[in-house]
Amino acid sequence: MSENMSKQNLRELPSVDEVLRSDNLQKCAVSYSKKLVTGIVRDVLAKIRAEIIERQVVDASVENIGTLVKDYLENMLKPSLKKIVNASGVVLHTNLGRAILCDEAIEALKIAAGCPVNLELDLENGERGDRDSHLEDVLCRLTGAEAATVVNNNAAAVFLVLNTLAETKEVIISRGELVEIGGSFRIPAVIQKSGCTLIEVGTTNRTHPSDYISAITPDTALFLKAHTSNYRVIGFTSSVDLKEMVKIGRQYGIPIIEDLGSGSLVDLSQFGLPYEPQVRESIDAGADVVTFSGDKLLGGPQAGIIAGKREYLQRINKNPLKRALRVDKLTIAALEATLKLYLQPDALSKNLPTLRCLTRPVSEIALIADEASRLLKQRLGKDYFIEIEDGESKIGSGSLPEEAIATKVIAIAHKEMPPEKIFKMFLKNNPPILGRVRKEKFLLDMRMIEKAEEVAISS
Ligand SMILES: *Cc1c(COP(=O)(O)O)cnc(C)c1O
């Protein structure tokens, strides 16, 4: 487009009022606020103006602009948070909201969301109650801790514990544990932001008891042990286990805090899954305070759980930051219902979706894969190569990073189209289907898929 034409087009751009009066907008089914519509008209006009200046060919008619504004408004009314079909093979996918809640939690959420509840009301005497009372007893019974509380997430839990017990003081941690857990949670940064001085000991691969002992000063507030979650050092390594740290801690009067990350409330090996540290083991080994996530292996809502000795929990609860990091009634409702499933361990792998998914037999996954691949062959036609392959699912969220769980995947390739394009095509489905690309193929992991129809793209 020439400069002259572009100037001409700019002059002919309709005014805000003209667009507002356009048939399209007058006919909107919903009556939006005038302020909202005017704001969107201005934004659309600004975008078209910029496109004209860039000499793009644009339809600047009142009708077209009216349609763009109407589409924008209609899209705004649609939920931004949508159901996704998780065929990525990552069971606890942080980008997909991690754990799927159990039915009991979903029921509890409905009540807490739709009704007044006794969140902070003592039903014995009608006086003010404590929101932790709904969770503390069950948490203590499941972990063996004396006391427990819950905050927004595990990052908040670590932060609050450090800030309460070690602000202005020194926190000793092994260099092998100064890790970054996805999503910008870095142990060293959290230590510093909570007002503590980080004292690193040992080396990346080897830390010995004497390293901790020689770092102790009158300013030492605590020893921190962090689960390295998504990272592992192998080969010539040595670390000081929790029991040994506790022994040193007792000798010098220093509390031990352990950030377990995922942590588990049951022994996962009984389900044929790889070993993951259990919260109870840490409490039994003498950790003074343990923190872990509500929405990782525990299988509940986003939350950070702090369990440990009563004297420390009392101090943590008195920290004014606790008020800023506390959880709402929805989290409490969902977490309470989830935790109660653990009181019936025999039914756990049936009732807790996270565990059900992780323990799903490959034979059952293979059946779904069979059916889904048949549907996909019909839907996609002969330009696609579709095969069932053995694959590996991951737990995700930093749990058991080395461990893959056998699964069945549907591998899809196209005569010409690269797998990245197939990936995007499945994401455009309604509801979007998230698979993954590996080498020349697009893979759909069937572990999380209940009905074959879910992955049968509707194009
Ligand atoms: C995941 C993780 C965190 C952060 O927990 P969120 O619940 O995501 O805030 C902290 N520490 C460790 C070791 C973790 O694995």
DSSP characters for 83-97?
A: --EE-SSBSS-GGGT
Read off the pLDDT band of 459 (50, 70, 90). Answer: low
Please give the single-letter amino acid code of residue 170: E
pLDDT value of residue 11: 84
Please say if the pLDDT value at position 236 is more than 90. no
Q: Separation of 178 CA from ligand 1 center, angstroms?
A: 13
Mean local confidence (pLDDT), 306-313: 98
Ligand 1 atom nearest residue 399's Cα: 15
* Other CB atoms within 10 Å distance of the CB of residue 211: 17
Mean local confidence (pLDDT), 250-266: 96
pLDDT value of residue 29: 65
Q: What is the pLDDT of residues 4-60, one digit of tens each?
A: 777 777 888 999 999 999 888 887 767 888 899 999 999 999 999 999 998 888 898
Region of poorest pLDDT, from 21-25, 147-151, 386-390: 21-25
Read off the pLDDT band of 231 (50, 70, 90). Answer: low
Please say if the pLDDT value at position 397 is more than 90. no
The answer to whether 437 and 443 are in contact (CB under 8 A) is yes
pLDDT value of residue 107: 98
The answer to whether 138 and 336 are in contact (CB under 8 A) is yes
Alpha carbon distance 110, 129 (integer Å):
22
At 82 the three-state DSSP class reads: coil
pTM: 0.92
Testing ligand 1's pocket by substitution, the residue of 173, 174, 231, 259 carrying the most ligand atoms inside 8 A of its CB is 259
Is cis: bond before 255, omega within 30 of 0?
A: no
Mean local confidence (pLDDT), 435-444: 96
Alpha carbon distance 313, 315 (integer Å):
5
Residue 431 CA to its chain's centroid (Å): 20
Mean local confidence (pLDDT), 377-385: 95
At 196 the three-state DSSP class reads: coil
- Residue 264 makes CB contacts below 8 A (sequence gap 6+) with 276, 277, 278, 279, 297, 298
As a whole number, the mean pLDDT across the chain is 93
Mean local confidence (pLDDT), 154-161: 97
C-beta of 225 in contact with ligand 1 (< 6 A): no
Q: Separation of 262 CA from ligand 1 center, angstroms?
A: 7
Please say if the pLDDT value at position 399 is more than 70. no
The answer to whether 248 and 262 are in contact (CB under 8 A) is no
Q: Separation of 191 CA from ligand 1 center, angstroms?
A: 14
Name which residue sits closest to atom 10 of ligand 1, judged by CA: 261
Q: Separation of 132 CA from ligand 1 center, angstroms?
A: 21
Note the helical H segments in 240-395: 242-252, 279-284, 310-318, 320-325, 329-341, 348-351, 353-358, 362-380
pLDDT value of residue 57: 86
Mean local confidence (pLDDT), 395-414: 85
Q: What percent of the chain has pLDDT over 70?
A: 96
Reference 438, options 457, 425, 422, 458; nearest CA is 422
Alpha carbon distance 294, 98 (integer Å):
10
pLDDT value of residue 401: 60
Alpha carbon distance 100, 295 (integer Å):
8
Mean local confidence (pLDDT), 93-111: 97
Name which residue sits closest to atom 14 of ligand 1, judged by CA: 261
**Phi/psi of residue 147, each to 5°?**
-155, 160
Mean local confidence (pLDDT), 303-330: 98
Q: What is the distance between the terminal CA atoms of the chain, rounded to a whole angstrom?
A: 37
C-beta of 293 in contact with ligand 1 (< 6 A): yes
Please say if the pLDDT value at position 400 is more than 80. no
Q: What percent of the chain has pLDDT over 90?
A: 81
Read off the pLDDT band of 183 (50, 70, 90). Answer: low
